[in-house]
Amino acid sequence: MDITIAESTVEGTAQAPPSKSYTHRAVLAAGYADGAVVRDPLVSADTKATMRAVEAYGGSVSLAEDESTVEVTGFDGRPETPDDVIDCANSGTTMRLVTATAALQDNLTVLTGDESLRSRPQGPLLDAIGQLDGDAESTRRNGQAPLVVGGGVDGGAVEIPGDVSSQYITALLMAGAVSPDGVDINLTTELKSSPYVDITLEVLEAFGVDAEKTDAGFTVDGGQSYTPAGGDYNVPGDFSSMSYLLAAGALAAEDGLRVTSAFPSAQGDAAIVDILDRMGADLDWDEENGEITVSQSDLTGIEVGVEDTPDLLPTIATLGAAADGVTRITDAEHVRYKETDRVSAMAEELTKMGAEVEEHQDELFVYGADSDLVGTTVEGRADHRIIMSLAVAGLVADGETTVTGAEHVDVSFPNFFDVLDSLGVAVQR
């Protein structure tokens, strides 16, 4: 499906969608538990993949008709061997988190996904499971799905790089809590995207699981039970998805835009608030009530490191293309290993729209003063974050911008274009 966005202003109120990161972790944590109710979940293509995985391991998942709750009957730390292959679709988070789950059962589980997911690196996690005396292989022996995993690991110590994906750490911590001996994680490199591990620790604590940072990395004791207080867990709003709304407000909300469900949490992508403030946006965050108001502003380019916030790179690049001066995005190499190479994707697609962009292996320069955005057809690359960022760029591009493959917003923000429409954007489907 292609979406066409005309140059538009936005105004009104928009609610941020629930957090995808928290929903994944909460649903799987409920699976590791005897059961739990996850309230205000994000129901998307990605999180549904995690729900299916919980069912494959012997749990059951019941989604309320209005999608306000997910009721999970868990497998209580003892996953069954799935009857069939686990298809993680496009969800890298699902694959990594439930790969570690597979290592807990004695037999073998096969995990796969779509073409994009089958190109993403899983080798370090497979190596870690091997260090725990589990069975973990790529069928193509290239560290990529399809994966075959099992072996009934008891726990132990692992060495693993931290600069490829923090999801490996999350997977090991969540599975390690129900293993007999627990898991000690020793990082062999600096940890990238560390706020995502902070999210994991926050969710684990909410489910009654103790895990800690150490000088070497992280540790979690084995033999623990997932037992959320009161039997339920409330998912906060998603700052990754919120970034597109806030960017739209900073670029095109002449009379202001109010974004709700913006309560503080461990999410690293809450950094978008500070980034916009540094760029000169007229913005106010009422943390107590979870509301951010933002208005169209004259933005100035800044230097931003995305070591801990890789999902913000597409949003920052779009803001940079409409800002005065130079926006320099650093520490970005790991952003190349997402649903697509997001560094190259934003460089190439913004260039089509008239932006001056310079791409390096670990950096992206956007020369806003030399950019004059014009509507054209751009490729969404089957990547939800690329699609939404380019749509926001279309708000301030002269003419009409057509984004291909727009249906992929279902991964994290299924009603994104409905929200834009409600805010006054000229959207053609």
* Helix, strand or coil, per DSSP, at residue 6: strand
- 20-234: CATH superfamily: Enolpyruvate transferase domain (3.65.10.10)
CATH superfamily of 3-17+237-428: Enolpyruvate transferase domain (3.65.10.10)
Closest CA to 182 of 219, 150, 210: 219
**Cβ atoms of residues 331 and 294 within 8 Å:** no
Instruction: Let me know the angle formed at the C-alpha of 243 by 242 and 248, rounded to the nearest 5 degrees.
Output: 100
Give residue 160's pLDDT: 98
The DSSP result for 128-159, as a single string, is HHHHTT-EEEETTSSS-SSEEEES----EEEE
Residue 368 makes CB contacts below 8 A (sequence gap 6+) with: 299, 301, 320, 321, 322, 323, 324, 325, 326, 327, 355
- What length is written for the chain? 429
Contact 25, 200 (CB under 8 A): yes
Per-residue pLDDT of the chain (429 residues; tens, 9 = 90+): 999 999 999 999 999 999 999 999 999 999 999 999 999 999 999 999 999 999 999 999 999 999 999 999 999 999 999 999 999 999 999 999 999 999 999 999 999 999 999 999 999 999 999 999 999 999 999 999 999 999 999 999 999 999 999 999 999 999 999 999 999 999 999 998 899 999 999 999 999 999 999 999 999 999 999 999 999 999 999 999 999 999 999 999 999 999 999 999 999 999 999 999 999 999 999 999 999 999 999 999 999 999 999 999 999 999 999 999 999 999 999 999 898 999 999 999 999 999 999 999 999 999 999 999 999 999 999 999 999 999 999 999 999 999 999 999 999 999 999 999 999 999 999
Q: DSSP 3-state assignment of 284? A: strand
- Tell me the helix, strand and coil percentages in the chain, rounded to 5: 35, 25, 40
| Domain ranges for the chain | 3-17+237-428, 20-234
State the alpha helices, DSSP H only, in 365-404: 384-394
Q: What is the largest CA-CA distance in the chain?
A: 61
Please identify every residue annotated as catalytic: 311
pLDDT value for 400 = 98
Q: Taking the model in full, what pTM does it have? A: 0.86
CA 165 – CA 149 distance, rounded (Å): 19
> What does the alpha-carbon distance between residue 85 and residue 149 come to, in Å, rounded to a whole number?
11
